[in-house]
Chains A and B, each alone.
Chain A
Amino acid sequence: MKLTHNSHQSGFTLAEILTAMAIAVVIFAAIITASLAMQKSFNAVDHYFATHIQQVRIIDYLNRDVKRALICTTSVNQQTVTLTIPKYIIQSGDAEAVSNPSLVGAMRSPTISTTTSGVQVNYGTATSTVVYSINGASILRTEDGVVTTIASSTDQLVPSTIDTDLANTEKTTMAVTFHPIFTSGNVADERTGTTVFSLAYLRNKRRG
């Protein structure tokens, strides 16, 4: 006897279909789970890098301003930094600019004066005050009342600055941490693990 096989009449048994469906469900479940995990991981990594960039930016802003500062003071909670900086650039509203508006944006020539504490270099008669502070999720830099948001993150960025005045110099240590999205329960350790640290000396406080 010869059996013929017509492909149009082929099929699967119920058991085969159920088995295949079960396997498919497992596979799709794995894929979906993996995809969600990857998406979450991506989101966490993206946040981590994005916040890290802001960490570095805060550090670099502080570093730049501390190096050129005349005076640096930090608050008791170490989260507000006040810097006194020479007014190297003529700004709108300055005495020179009032009499000659075209000078706005120009560099000042230094002058030398003798004070009771010795000779000193002056850029104009006033100085700029720069304040770094936290406002909600934002880190603000305020220069003579003009506010610039230098970092803004939902990852709870926290800068900490300590100013140390030594006998022959002055230095400022800065550390910025944040709270990453992926946590395993020990928030303090995870925040500590994100620390970016920097140290800057006030160039104007070099002595000797």
Chain B
Amino acid sequence: MKVSFIQNERGNVLLCAVCTIFVVSLIAANVLLNCTARYNQASNQVRSWNEALYAAESGADIAYNEVRKIASNPASAFGASNGWATSGTTYTSGTTTFGTNGLRTSQTVDLFYSDPASGNAWYRIRSKGISPLQGLKRTGMDDRLSNGNRFAANGATRGDGDTLLRKIDFKYDHFTATYGPTGDGTNKAIVAVSPAPQLSRRIELIAAPVGPFDDVAIKVTGNFYGLGSAAYIDSYRSSAGPYDPSVKTNPSDPRYADSQSGSVQIDNATATVMGDIYGNLYTNGGTTTKKTLNVHGTIDNNVPFTLDSFSIPTYLPAPQASPTNINANTIVTPPAAGTARAPTVYLLSSFTKQLTINQNGSSQTYVAIHLTSDFTGAIDVKPGVHVQFFINGNVDVKAGDIVNETGYAGNMQFYSISPTDGSSQHININSPGNLVATFYAPSADFTMNGNPDVTGAIIAKSFYGNGNTSWHYDRSLDSLGDVTDYRIASYVEDIR
């Protein structure tokens, strides 16, 4: 028997299977396409946007590091060898590329303000960070928000959702097209981004000078002993009014916060700290606890620091012809009011008698004294006079020998120039009398005898004082004195 079989009349199972697979594949492909687009946006674009800020902040750190060199080593700040170009007081960096994703950053730093009281400069840091767009060159799927112009070259009219936030430059730099390369509205141009696409973010930081007496009543790198058991250290802000002893124990007083900044900083593990401290106490590895001390602020036993040796500023003008010593009581009236950066300078070889410094007319008068030997005399600073006293030798005086008639510690600043041969240096303040002054002596051992009332701050190598002193740190000192460092005082992002 022979049975014939015709192939064309088989069933359609294969066709059904193919169609089914096709339909299922379409669904799967649609799911995959959407997921990929979502993932691309949620992961890659978000990452690039955040990395652009990392780049900008890293660039700001680079610039900040250069600004800090102005305080520690001015000759090395903004060096051409590090890629900086200088134009007046504006410094522009080259482009730094870093990271596995090819992040780029560039910065501009400019001096935009000089403190009239101290002459210290404030710097503005503008940093731009660029991150190449990771992942697919696709827009997002913001279909749940209202429609708008999403990727216009004119950034000011940009759309909604992620586009409004992240401002991805797929083809053209929207910032340059809308605001110009520096953001000031000049030189606008349609510029293709390379490598396209990319995201950029811009931040602006303000680096503020930190003076030697910033937020500290006593600061030493070595041994510390003091004060007497009945002594206290509090603070006030002279620019907000005269000192009031009742404020430190009255939290409802608006000046209360200013009264709690009489801090003591000791870069040593061993210290004998007595009396009340209405501020913070810092040591380097000490074991201070509040159970044993009346510290009203924060105790932090892990605050190491260093103090650079001090040398006379290079910006001082040439000295006056006379006087050249104070071996007899002398009265001087500066020929000009001067400024903090251009004071009237007196160069003295010895100082054993009294010097009285008068005001130049009714102008705030700035004076600098450079004494190349020991100071054993007396000084009387009249109202309206600001004195910086640079001393090569030692200081041995009574507190009453230092008369600061201005009432402000910042107007009588003592600076002990560090011996270059490493020899010892000391400052002895003996009784009687009270003291309204500041001392910056990173290489000197400071001793205070008696129970003086002190208004001011002391930075020294070591400190010894056993009297029941009432010590008032003036918070207005934080902006006085030559800059020792810089801090970031402001942060803004240009979100355009």
Which residues on A are within 8 Å of B, measured CB to CB?
A: 2-5, 7, 10, 27, 31, 34-35, 38-39, 41-42, 45-46, 49-50, 52-54, 56-57, 60-61, 64, 67-68, 86, 88-89, 102, 105-107, 109-112, 114, 116-121, 123, 148-150, 152-153, 167, 203-204, 206, 208
Contact = CB atoms under 8 A, between A and B. Distances in A.
A45 B5 CA distance: 50
A165 B104 CA distance: 34
B112 A109 contact: yes
Given A42-B31, A110-B490, A149-B160, 16 more contacts: A2-B2, A5-B4, A35-B23, A35-B24, A42-B30, A46-B35, A49-B34, A53-B141, A53-B162, A56-B42, A88-B494, A105-B496, A107-B204, A112-B115, A114-B239, A119-B489
Contact of B145 (A2, A4, A152): A152
Nearest to A112: B113
B190 interface: no
B57 to A, nearest CB: 9
A107 B494 contact: yes
Contacts of A57: 161-162, 165
A19 to B, nearest CB: 13
B27 A149 contact: no
12 contacts: A3-B3, A10-B9, A27-B16, A38-B31, A45-B35, A68-B493, A105-B179, A107-B204, A118-B479, A119-B208, A167-B298, A206-B487
Given A64-B495, A106-B184, A86 B490 contact: yes
Give the most central of A52, A54, A121: most B CB within 10 Å: A121
Nearest to B6: A7
B165 A204 contact: no
Contacts of A61: 165
A54 B34 CA distance: 15
Given A52-B42, A60-B50, A110-B112, A121 B490 contact: yes
Contacts of B488: 203, 206
B266 to A, nearest CB: 16
Interface string B12-28: 00001000100110011
Q: Which of A39, A53, A149, A203 has the most CB of B within 10 A?
A: A53
B38 A52 contact: yes
Contacts of B112: 109-110
A153 to B, nearest CB: 7
B165 A53 contact: no
B184 A112 contact: no
Contact of A42 (B27, B145, B239): B27
A37 to B, nearest CB: 10
Nearest to A54: B144
Interface of B: 1-6, 9, 16, 20, 23-24, 27-28, 30-31, 34-35, 38-39, 41-42, 46, 49-50, 112-113, 115, 122, 124, 140-141, 144-146, 156, 160-162, 164-166, 179, 183-185, 204, 206, 208, 237, 239-240, 257-258, 298, 475, 478-479, 487-496
A67 B491 contact: yes
B136 to A, nearest CB: 14
A40 B208 CA distance: 58
Nearest to A7: B6
B345 to A, nearest CB: 27
Nearest to A46: B34
Contact of B204 (A7, A49, A88): A88
Contact of A89 (B140, B145, B478, B494): B494
A25 to B, nearest CB: 13
B39 A105 contact: no
A63 to B, nearest CB: 8
B479 A7 contact: no
A32 to B, nearest CB: 10
B494 A38 contact: no
Contacts of A112: 113, 115, 122
Contacts of A53: 38, 41-42, 140-141, 162
Contacts of A52: 38, 42
A143 to B, nearest CB: 10
A69 to B, nearest CB: 9
A105 B298 CA distance: 44
A49 B145 contact: no
Contacts of A56: 42, 46
Nearest to B1: A3
B298 A60 contact: no
A49 B39 contact: yes
Nearest to A119: B479
Contacts of B1: 2-3
A133 to B, nearest CB: 17
Contacts of B34: 42, 45-46, 49
B165 A123 contact: no
Contacts of A46: 31, 34-35, 38
B196 to A, nearest CB: 22
Contacts of A86: 490, 492
B179 A152 contact: no
Nearest to A58: B165
B31 A68 contact: no
Given A123-B492, A204-B491, A107 B298 contact: no
Nearest to A48: B38
B42 A118 contact: no
A49 B239 contact: no
A141 B495 CA distance: 15
Contacts of A3: 1-3
**Residue from B31, B208, B491 whose CB has the most chain A CB atoms within 10 Å:** B491
B145 A88 contact: no
Contacts of B31: 38, 41-42, 45-46
A65 B298 CA distance: 30
Given A52-B38, A107-B494, A60 B478 contact: no
Contact of A203 (B35, B161, B491): B491
A116 B122 CA distance: 20
Task: Kindly name the residue among A60, A118, A206 whose own CB sees the greatest number of chain B CB atoms within 10 A.
Answer: A118
A40 to B, nearest CB: 11
Given A7-B9, A53-B162, A107-B184, A116 B496 contact: no
Nearest to B166: A60
Given A107-B183, A112-B113, A116-B239, A67 B496 contact: no
Contacts of A116: 237, 239-240, 258
Nearest to B34: A46
